[in-house]
Amino acid sequence: MALLPRRKKQRRFRAPRFVGLFRRNSEAVYFAGNQVKLYPTGGEFLFALLDACRNASSSICLEFYTICNDAIGREFAEALCEAASRGVEVSLLYDYFGSIETPSLFFRHMAKSGVRCLAFNPPTFKRGLHWLDKRDHRKIAVIDGTVAFTGGLNIADVYAGFGDCRYKWRDMGMRIEGLAVAELLRLFRESWEGEEGPPLDPARYSPQLVDAGEDRVLIVNGRPHHTRSFIRSAFRLAIAGATDSVRILNPYFIPGPRVIRSLLRAAAQGVRVQLVLPAISDVPLVRLVSRGLYAPLLKGGVELYEREGTILHAKVMLIDDDWAVIGSANLDSRSFHRNYEVNVIVDSAEFGRQVGAMFTADLARSRRVTMDDIARRGLLERFLEKLLTPFSRFL
């Protein structure tokens, strides 16, 4: 007797009840009618964004945590100045703390050429000392009001490199056309106006957006001082919606007990949970505290890997190979509670397939962590883990 084909499990995240719960608890904004393109490396993303800036005809809005005065940064500066000279309204918002190593002359040069440069949260005693802890960690670019770029990378040489070494970081991003662009533009305008930037010309920022494709997109806006973290809620609900697999790439993993419980619960329900973290980190203290969380995850059935060869900076979660979460937020307390962040969720089988292929490639460059590795940790490492864990929310 011929065997009947195995029925595919019903995707929880496709159920109307789950979508309603997700939107209520994360305040995610939903849009159908989009076309989303994946850039699996930082170089592809930045070169595509640079090309879009060079071809802009009406407006350019950039909101980035870090903009460096290096080769890539100067290429962008040149492209923005050239765009301003031909009548494009160029508005650049950068985080003061994130770009603190970039000379002010770099931004003044662009301002003289017509680029409207604005620092987010510059130091002032009027706001008290807590100003230091508030940062704009978003990465958003909107070109002509119709095309958006977002992801986890900044504008700097280290994000643009190809290959495997500690000076060429592993990152990625995406391009969006369609109705969801309006929400990313709204977030940019909210940040710009919140910092009292010069008025944005309404005629340049009211495009007639139309359906561009079949990709469904949800956008989660993370801000500090919420009574609860929408970014964290979105991560936890996405994990809860998995029926087959949860695959995560993240550079800074100190998520707190709630996310840990979500991962362990998924694994206990038979979901394959794979977590890829950096073997090399630009913030060694974060990696040290992260490794203190490995033992309970491994005991609970979570597969842990460390990506070797370069610094991992990509922030990706893939649910059941269909639901991709990509954005600026790390799995840590700072992203949950103290930064301005944005995550984009793409519900698309084809986009999910591309993200899955990218994840598989990263997995091939990773070493699996075992309980034997945990047991071999030295006394000093164990002591520092215990010492630093109470301060993890500040890292």
| CATH assignment at residue 292 | 3.30.870.10
Reading the block at residue 215, the tokens are: 């990709």
pLDDT confidence of residue 373: 83
C-beta neighbour count of 361 within 10 angstroms:
11
- pLDDT band at 2, cuts 50/70/90? very low
How many domains is the chain partitioned into structurally?
Answer: 1
152 and 123 in contact (C-beta within 8 Å)?
Answer: no
Domain that holds residue 248: 12-394
**Predicted pLDDT at 378:** 62
pTM of structure? 0.92
Among 215, 313, 332, 337, the active-site one is: 313
Give pLDDT, residue 219. 98
Name the catalytic one among 95, 171, 215, 320.
320
Catalytic residue of the set 137, 157, 171, 322: 137
> Where is 306: in which H helix or E strand?
strand 303-307
Whether 3 is covered by a domain: the verdict is no
CA atoms within 13 A of residue 217's CA, in its CB half-sphere: 31
Asked if the structure places residue 7 within a domain, the reply is: no
Q: Kindly name the residue from 95, 136, 144, 322 that is annotated as catalytic.
A: 144
Q: What is the pLDDT of residues 249-307, one digit of tens each?
A: 999 999 999 999 999 999 999 999 999 999 988 876 777 788 889 999 999 999 999 99
Based on the residue annotation, tell me whether 168 is a catalytic residue of this protein.
Answer: no
Model confidence over 18-69: pLDDT tens digits?
A: 888 899 999 999 999 999 999 999 999 999 999 999 999 999 999 999 999 9
Q: What is the pLDDT of residue 226?
A: 59
Phi, psi of 338 (to 5 degrees): -125, -10
Query: What whole-number distance in Å separates Cα of residue 337 and Cα of residue 264?
Result: 23
The predicted pLDDT at position 3 comes to: 42
Q: Between 167 and 309, where is the model more confident?
A: 309
Is position 6 within any domain?
A: no
CA 23 vs CA 87, 92, 176, 228, 343: distances in Å: 39, 30, 20, 14, 13
Q: Compute the distance between CA of residue 153 and CA of residue 168 in angstroms, rounded to an integer.
A: 12
Q: Let me know the angle formed at the C-alpha of 352 by 148 and 26, rounded to the nearest 5 degrees.
A: 65
DSSP string, 313-344: ---EEEETTTEEEEES--EEHIIIIIEEEEEE
Of residues 37, 139, 168, 337, which has the active-site annotation? 139
190 found inside a domain: yes
320 catalytic per annotation: yes
Nearest-angstrom CA–CA distance, 367 and 365: 7
**From CA 166, how far away is CA 176, in angstroms rounded?**
30
| Torsion (CA) 53, 59, 62, 67 in degrees, nearest 10 | 50
Number of residues that make up the chain: 395
Please pick, among 215, 315, 322, 332, the residue that the annotation labels catalytic: 315
Q: Known catalytic residue: 225?
A: no
Radius of gyration over alpha carbons of the chain, in Å?
21
User: Is 8 one of the catalytic residues?
Assistant: no
Contact 148, 181 (CB under 8 A): yes
4 within domain boundaries? no
Question: For 311, phi and psi rounded to 5 degrees?
Answer: -80, 120
**1 located within any domain:** no
